[in-house]
Structure 1
Amino acid sequence: METQMSKPRIGVIIGTTRKARFADKPAQWFMEQVADHAELDFELVDLRDFDLPMFDEVASNAWLPSEDPHAVRWQEKVKSFDGYVFVTAEYNHSISGSLKNALDQDYTGWARKPMAAVAYGGVGGARALEHLRTISVELQMVPLRNAVHIGGSDFYKVWSGGENAPMSEIEGHLQAALSAMLDELVWWTKATKAAREA
């Protein structure tokens, strides 16, 4: 009987928690695009499902184990992946408070793994993603160069506050960026996983 190596696991993290969020639409679109990916397994992770408190531990879990059970459950989830794709909104030129808090709740789980992003907003979530990349460097992640940006007229076409059209109406504009990001994610996931396991 032939044994098949399990594919590296990528967490697709929805980075906002508010009731009126747009994130579900691009997140579902992304999951459809990677449903049968040949080299990576993708799992959708919703911050709403973790009920994280505002970070209030004595120290980062790099120094002391966290005490809050919600934080510990989140850390176990983060640790289970070999890389990440963040679906991120842009709030006032940065990421959401809920995503920053989720990042702060762990240190060790993120380290030495790649991070990619699907970002959205008026300028494609570019400013939020630049902040996210600098945060990820401090958490010892490998931020990828390529990302999917949904901005400008494409954003207003599919946004619930705009035309609310299906993602299929703009996906032709996103495919080149998606393909480049996934190629890069495969390379860095394999490289960092091999290095961590060596």
Structure 2
Amino acid sequence: MTRIGIILGSTRPGRNGEAVARWVHDIASRRDDAEYELVDIADHALPHLDEAVPPMAGVYTQPHTLAWAERIARLDGFVFVTPEYNHSIPGALKNAIDFLYAEWGDKAAGFVGYGPLGATRAVEHLRLILAELQVATVRAQAALTFATDFADHSTFRPAEASRASVEAVLDRTVAWSRALEPLRRKASA
């Protein structure tokens, strides 16, 4: 069965992302096309990148890096849930991505962005970062805005149309994850 990680990319106290990621996971859990798991980077307590050797070499020495690598390696694809900070992704998400290299490769990724403008600029930056790691990003994305999906800009109340956007992201992410499976199999051989 294809395994998709729904990665919560914010670690900020009081973050809106937890409600968004749980909602996305709830939608995904009702489907039977893949196994879905919520991956909260806050649960991994990754410090600033502290490996002496660049991740591309695959030589991890820190226990937190080894645990993070194991978690990401077992997944076939990802749905990143991210806010937009200063026209980009949160530093904690970038740091979590930078810890690893091969564990990301030959997998697919979709995006659920949230914020004043749906985090569309953050998602564009995330697409560039993931391209370097050989992650295939799907075109479909959900852009949740404060005007349509949050009450008082803080309480998550998704619009019905947003559910359809998330379903489209899941559809494409699962399909691409499956299509890339021969590459992952070849890389692990």
TM-score by length of 1: 0.88
Q: Higher Cα Rg: structure 1 or 2?
A: 1
| Structure 2 unaligned blocks of 5 or more | none
CA distance in 2, matches of 1:113, 1:158: 37
- 1:109-188 to structure 2, matched below 5 A, reads 109-157=103-151, 159-160=153-154, 164=155, 166-167=157-158, 170=159, 172-188=160-176
Equivalent position SS for 1:146? strand
Q: Deviations along 1:77-133, whole A, 9 cap, x unmatched?
A: 010100001110100100000000000000010001001111011110000000000
Check the 8 A contact 2:83/2:119 in 1, yes or no.
yes
CA distance in 2, matches of 1:159, 1:153: 7
Tell me which protein shows more strand as a share of its residues.
2
What is the match of residue 81 of structure 1? 75
CA distance in 1, matches of 2:157, 2:10: 20
The share of aligned pairs that are identical, in percent, is 37
Tell me which stretches of 4 or more aligned residues in structure 1 moved more than 4 Å: none
What is the match of residue 4 of structure 1? none
What is the match of residue 32 of structure 2? 38
Check the 8 A contact 1:125/1:149 in 2, yes or no.
yes
Give the 3 Å change call, closer, same or farther, for CA 31–152 of structure 1 in structure 2.
same
Q: Does 2:7 match 1:16?
A: no
What is the match of residue 62 of structure 1? 56
TM-score by length of 2: 0.92
Tell me which protein shows more helix as a share of its residues.
2
Q: How far is 1:157 from its partner?
A: 2.7
CA distance in 1, matches of 2:149, 2:116: 7
What is the match of residue 91 of structure 2? 97
Q: Deviations along 1:41-64, whole A, 9 cap, x unmatched?
A: 100011111110101222223215
Coordinate RMSD, CA, aligned: 1.5
What is the match of residue 195 of structure 1? 183
What is the match of residue 28 of structure 1? 22
Q: Which has the higher contact order (CA 8 A, sep 6+)?
A: 2
Check the 8 A contact 1:120/1:149 in 2, yes or no.
yes
CA distance in 2, matches of 1:72, 1:158: 41
